[in-house]
Chain A
Amino acid sequence: MTPYEALLQPFVDFEFMRRALVGVFALALGAGPLGVFLMLRRMSLTGDAMSHAILPGAALGFLVAGLNLAAMTIGGLVVGLMVAVGAGVVARATELKEDASLAAFYLISLALGVVIVSARGSNLDLLHVLFGTVLGIDDATLLLIAAITTVTLIALAVIWRPLVLDCVDPTFLSSVSRVGGASHIAFLSLVVLNLVGGFHALGTLLAVGLMMLPAATARFFARDLTLLVALAMLIAFGSGAAGLLVSYHFGTPSGPSIILVAGLAYGLAVLFGPAGGLVSRLAPRRHLEA
């Protein structure tokens, strides 16, 4: 097999591959920076919880309208935001910390989702909701993902400063401004929005993979925030493209293939990453004079 056949021909020959490529590109642009902030705010598992939380919304949409893009999107969005805001309100208004209240909300939400899915629909439909169909992305889905990414990038630019400051020094932020709470809610909404965009391509369970794995991988290469975000986008897109090719050549399911490639990149980074990877720790270079 020539490099052309291995790397380019699948995209040249098949429209569904091109659509999938554009889809993962758009997803990578939004998911990359969100993943970096989730990681830096020690909320890596929050994305995972949120991805479970949107299931009943998507399932409700599915129950009402079948495999309908708009219904499942709106359902996922509404329930995801309810869980995010509900958990945030419980955390701020009561003694319970945010992680515990989020765990409570998403578990209830997940159980509800499975009950709803099994009320109608065969196992095949459930698989579709859980694992997505990146190779079956149509124009409407592509537009939806692109729109979500656009909104995400603009919103991130708006809340960038409070977001950074809320991570580094929350007491200082609240001493100079009251935008901290609002920017936190806006950030969580963006996470939900991107997970909903991602679940059409990767499914509810794996959408979060394109957020967290590239972010964690980038941490082993960069100590600067801007660089981290750019790298996370790049790694997410690279994993998407490579995952599609793996899926094409070996007939593996596309969503999990993408996440596995991202996982491979993560594994290599853990071992060989220059910024705190295992090898750089075990075999350090000679120290400097000053």
Chain B
Amino acid sequence: MAPLISFENLTLGYERHPAVHHLTGEVREGTLLAICGPNGAGKSTLLKGITGVLAPLGGHIVRHGFDVHDIAYLPQGAEVDRSFPIDVYDLVSMGLWRRAGLFGGIGRADRARIAAALAEVGLEGFERRPIGTLSGGQLQRVLFARLVLQDARLILLDEPFTALDATTMTELLELVRRWHREGRTVLAVLHDFDLVRAVFPETLLLARRAVAWGPTAEALSPEKLKDAQHMGLAWRDDAAPCETAA
């Protein structure tokens, strides 16, 4: 498969302190990749780099044949203003933005797609519910329905299953598997190693730098996990400018 994203000696971070340090590698089209690592290891930062929200401190991210706005991105604890007077149907239909834009109408075919997306996440009958009345799990289902409508080649999920019950997680996970079968590329930040081993063929174990990147069984081996645990992740105020060749 052709590469979809290439990281070339990539460093991402905040106020000159690296959060992802000298990462090199590529994500091939159609990959189902788990990104694991301790808190503060740079997992969310890497996703922000891919979406273009965060500019690299060094190195490059090459996006092969797609634009940052073609990515379907579900940030960690998505910042949805739940007091806003909007219902489930309207929020989900925003997933059609790339197709409808500012003025495009939502036609019969689109309405069918919206209905199908809602059915897929088990939210039939919730169309007219104001988003403020949803539970956390139901809101996460709504956001997944929106991802479905975005119909993107590349899908980024940042801790998508945190605080969900087993049923919700199983159903949303099934959606992720289907995306994989459809040939979409999915990158998911996850903490549940059992889940990753069961579902994700490939894993990037991150602890500021890549500790391991490859088949999940190898990347999440006890030795690698121990390595990741012992990486120092604290900022040092006296840190010298990094001399590694850029």
Contacts and interface: CB of A to CB of B under 8 A. Distances in A.
A282 interface: no
Interface in B80-138: 80-81, 84-87, 91, 94, 97-98, 101-103, 130-131
Give the size range of A's interface with the partner. Answer: 20 to 34
Interface in A143-188: 158-159, 161-162, 164-165, 167-172, 174-179
Contacts of B161: none
A40 interface: yes
Contacts of A179: 102
Interface stretch (A9-17, A121-129, A222-230, A239-247): A222-230
Interface string B62-92: 0000001101110100111100111100010
Contacts of B130: 223
Contacts of A176: 69, 97-98, 150
A162 B102 contact: yes
B51 interface: yes
Nearest to A167: B84
What range describes how many residues of B lie at the interface? 20 to 34
Nearest to B98: A176
Contact of A175 (B71, B80, B86, B101): B71
B53 interface: yes
Nearest to A164: B86
User: Interface on chain A toward B: helix, strand, loop, or mixed SS?
Assistant: helix
A225 B85 contact: yes
A179 B79 CA distance: 18
Given A171-B75, A171-B78, A225 B98 contact: no
A222 B97 contact: no
Contacts of B80: 168-169
A12 B73 CA distance: 60
Contacts of A224: 85, 87
B77 to A, nearest CB: 10
A171 B79 contact: yes
Interface string A65-89: 0000000000000000000000000
B82 to A, nearest CB: 9
A175 B79 contact: no
Contacts of B102: 158-159, 161-162, 179
Contacts of A228: 85
A192 B28 CA distance: 50
B78 A169 contact: yes
B129 to A, nearest CB: 11
B97 A177 contact: yes
Contacts of A40: 84-85
A223 B83 CA distance: 10
Nearest to A219: B85
Closest 3 CB pairs of A and B: A176-B97, A168-B84, A175-B73
8 contacts: A158-B102, A168-B84, A172-B94, A175-B68, A176-B150, A177-B69, A178-B69, A224-B85
